[in-house]
């Protein structure tokens, strides 16, 4: 093990929306902190696994030319980026945490060791098997899929749900949750390999949006009774085509917008079909997992997922990368759609 505290530092905002590994630098100039470094209340954590997530793309995009109070957050240049991660407490000056405790943080720095405050940490049950499951099958992406499919989607058996990026971290869970509730599931993905995987998860029909030709015709064929729930992870053209095929009282889950996160504002393809859904009384619900942590919904999620995992009804494909040195490429792969399953960096 290195004697320095390896960090993934943001070197420059992605020019022209292209997030190459060169946007980052691996920095080994800092020593590993020790308990003498800790202030009262602080906790030293050895980081073990990091969640690589689509919303980070926005944080690495060039800031707007005219920033406002409401401008979206950007990572500061020259500092370690951060996200969802898990680790083990190695030293603590906080009564709520002791060495050996397993913890999760929503603001875990991408470095070997991190000093964190109490409000940045959630203690995980000691009984758990793999710590990395908390950025995997029980992690944010799966919770997001639950919130979108169950809480916002309000699914009824026999309805049709369409899920974009259905082989992704969120999508694969949404497919299986919906199948477990008795829905007809239409998946969407951009490669034959992914399409096959989505079929193996139980989807009733899968569209390869890159090869299907006329997208609208493909949706009509895959969802002949119309769409009752559309779970959107991509935005853009696919969202617009889905809107045209919604049933009255349909629910649209706005969960992500992979197709636009990296694009310059002027190049984003706008959504034109909102007017057509007004008389259908559609509800569009934006989903963000963070405020739901610690609520009854998280308890329900963990119960349903544990049950489905035990029954063998929940596969969760992980695309695991080893070492912080692999992190810049992992981010670039995610943003280019080259991952296959939930991307995790094991530190």
Binding site for its own copies (CB under 8 A): 55, 58, 68, 70, 72, 216, 220, 226, 235, 239-240, 244-245, 254-257, 260-261, 265, 268-272, 274-288, 290-291
Residues 317, 281 contacting (CB under 8 angstroms): no
Smallest gap from Cβ 301 to its own copies, in A, equals 17
- Which of 270/294 has CB closer to its own copies? 270
- Which of 18/322 has CB closer to its own copies? 18
Closest by Cα among 101, 206, 217, 120 to 163:
206
- Which of 85/235 has CB closer to its own copies? 235
What is the CB-side half-sphere exposure of residue 278 using CA atoms within 13 A? 5
Residues 212, 223 contacting (CB under 8 angstroms): no
- Which of 111/257 has CB closer to its own copies? 257
Query: What 3-state DSSP class applies to 55?
Result: coil
Query: What does residue 336 show for φ and ψ, rounded to 5 degrees?
Result: -95, 5
What's the CA gap between 38 and 339, in Å, rounded? 37
- Which of 125/213 has CB closer to its own copies? 213
CB proximity list for 128: less than 8 A, separation 6 or greater? 102, 134
Smallest gap from Cβ 43 to its own copies, in A, equals 26
Smallest gap from Cβ 84 to its own copies, in A, equals 14
What's the CA gap between 260 and 328, in Å, rounded? 20
Smallest gap from Cβ 104 to its own copies, in A, equals 19
Other C-beta atoms closer than 10 Å to the C-beta of 129 total 6
What's the CA gap between 117 and 316, in Å, rounded? 31
Closest by Cα among 111, 112, 93, 118 to 103:
118
Smallest gap from Cβ 336 to its own copies, in A, equals 18
Smallest gap from Cβ 231 to its own copies, in A, equals 13
Smallest gap from Cβ 271 to its own copies, in A, equals 4
- Which of 38/244 has CB closer to its own copies? 244
Residues 74, 61 contacting (CB under 8 angstroms): yes
- Which of 169/314 has CB closer to its own copies? 169
């Amino acid at each position: 093990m290195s004697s320095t505290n390896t960090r993934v530092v943001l070197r420059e905002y992605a020019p022209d929306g292209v997030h190459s590994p060169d946007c980052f630098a691996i920095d080994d100039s800092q020593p590993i902190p020790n308990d003498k470094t800790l202030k009262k209340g602080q906790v030293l954590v050895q980081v073990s696994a990091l969640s690589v997530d689509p919303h980070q793309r926005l944080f690495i995009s060039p800031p707007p030319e005219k920033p406002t109070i409401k401008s979206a957050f950007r990572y500061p240049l020259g500092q370690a980026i951060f996200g969802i991660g898990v680790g083990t407490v190695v030293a603590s000056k906080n009564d709520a945490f002791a060495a050996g405790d397993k913890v999760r943080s929503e603001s875990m720095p991408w470095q070997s060791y991190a000093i964190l405050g109490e409000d940045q940490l959630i203690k995980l049950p000691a009984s758990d098997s793999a710590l990395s499951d908390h950025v995997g099958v029980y992690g944010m992406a799966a919770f997001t899929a639950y919130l979108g499919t169950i809480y916002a989607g309000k699914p009824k058996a026999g309805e049709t749900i369409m899920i974009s990026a259905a082989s992704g971290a969120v999508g694969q869970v949404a497919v299986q949750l919906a199948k477990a509730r008795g829905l007809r599931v239409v998946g969407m993905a951009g490669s034959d390999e992914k399409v096959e995987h989505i079929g193996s998860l139980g989807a009733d029909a899968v569209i390869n949006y890159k090869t299907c030709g006329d997208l609208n015709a493909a949706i009509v064929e895959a969802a002949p009774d119309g769409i009752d729930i559309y779970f959107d992870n991509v935005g853009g053209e696919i969202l617009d085509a889905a809107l045209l095929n919604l049933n009255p009282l349909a629910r649209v889950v706005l969960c992500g917008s992979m197709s636009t996160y990296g694009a310059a504002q002027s190049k984003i393809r706008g959504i034109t079909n909102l007017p057509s859904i007004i008389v259908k009384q559609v509800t569009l619900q934006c989903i963000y997992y963070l405020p739901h942590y610690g609520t009854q919904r998280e308890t329900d999620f963990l119960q349903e997922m544990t049950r489905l995992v035990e029954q063998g009804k929940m596969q969760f494909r992980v695309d695991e990368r080893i070492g912080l040195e692999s992190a810049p490429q992992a981010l670039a792969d995610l943003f280019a759609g080259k991952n296959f399953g939930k991307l995790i960096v094991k530190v």
